[in-house]
Chain A
Amino acid sequence: DGGITQSPKYLFRKEGQNVTLSCEQNLNHDAMYWYRQDPGQGLRLIYYSQIVNDFQKGDIAEGYSVSREKKESFPLTVTSAQKNPTAFYLCASSWGGLYNEQFFGPGTRLTVL
């Protein structure tokens, strides 16, 4: 089945460690996105990528890094520079223009201890 997957669903890390969240899609979408969601809040855009080997910062990129080496994959690294990394992270992809109908993955809940 076509879709977008994120792994793992739950992730625990010690403070000061880098951690990489996986996002894979087999929808042949060009654009991919990473969002952060905090309790009781809407989503905030971290990074987005419209084509392979190109990506742009969103509103809250500090402390995060991404890569887009393959069309299907857009991993997000949460670095030790991110001051408050505990959150729910959502990956999305879309065809056509930027933010055109986005399909979301199931999310990864990251807890930093």
Chain B
Amino acid sequence: GIQVEQSPPDLILQEGANSTLRCNFSDSVNNLQWFHQNPWGQLINLFYIPSGTKQNGRLSATTVATERYSLLYISSSQTTDSGVYFCAVELGNRDDKIIFGKGTRLHILP
């Protein structure tokens, strides 16, 4: 089946730093989403991004579907950005499933 790989697995940064998280997938997909899970387990949808670039405040995401990867950029990190970032891909018409990567654990130091 399709493989979804996220890198790096862990990232520790000082407050104010910028970061780039990567999501690679092994087959064509119908859609891609980025999620943030806070330290208490709550998941929030960040971006719904099958292709192109979207921005929301300090966060932006770019998906290059033809090259099978997506990037999540976090600028001017804050301690509240800590948690785990997941990408998830939708397989589309041939298989109505959603597959999550294992996530990137981000820890922002004050």
B41, A45: Cβ atoms under 8 Å? no
Inter-subunit contact B86/A42 (CB<8 Å): yes
Q: Are A99 and B98 in contact, with the CB atoms below 8 A?
A: yes
Question: How many positions in chain A have a CB within 8 Å of any CB in the partner chain?
Answer: 22
- Given A43-B88, A99-B33, A104 and B42 contact (CB-CB distance below 8 Å): yes
Main secondary structure of the interface of B (DSSP, over half): strand
With A99-B31, A99-B90, A107-B42 in contact, do A59 and B97 touch (Cβ < 8 Å)? Answer: yes
Among B31, B43, B45, B88, the one with the most A-chain Cβ atoms within 10 Å of its Cβ is B43
Residue of B45, B88, B98, B99 most packed against chain A (CB within 10 A)? B98
State the CA gap A4–B101 with chains docked (Å): 24
Query: B31 and A101: CB pair below 8 A?
Result: no
Is there a chain B Cβ closer than 8 Å to A41's Cβ?
yes
Cβ-defined contact, B97 with A90, below 8 A: no
| B98 in complex: contacting residue of A41, A45, A101, A106, CB < 8 Å | A45
Q: Which residues of A contact B96 (CB under 8 A)?
A: 56, 98
0/1 interface trace, chain A 39-60, chain B, CB 8 Å (1 if under):
0111111000000000010110
Are B41 and A42 in touch, CB under 8 angstroms?
no
User: Chain A contact residues: over half helix, strand or loop, or mixed?
Assistant: loop
In the bound assembly, the distance between CA atoms of A62 and B101 in angstroms comes to: 21
- List 17 additional A-B contacts (Cβ < 8 Å) besides A56-B96, A90-B43, A99-B33: A40-B102, A42-B100, A42-B101, A42-B102, A44-B100, A58-B97, A98-B96, A99-B31, A99-B98, A101-B45, A103-B45, A104-B43, A104-B44, A104-B45, A106-B40, A106-B42, A107-B41
Interface residues, chain A, CB within 8 Å of chain B?
40-45, 56, 58-59, 88, 90, 92, 98-104, 106-107, 109
List 7 tightest A-B contacts by C-beta distance, closest first. A42-B100, A104-B43, A43-B100, A107-B41, A42-B102, A99-B90, A101-B45
Q: A-contacting residues of B (Cβ < 8 Å)?
A: 4, 31, 33, 40-45, 48, 86, 88, 90, 96-103
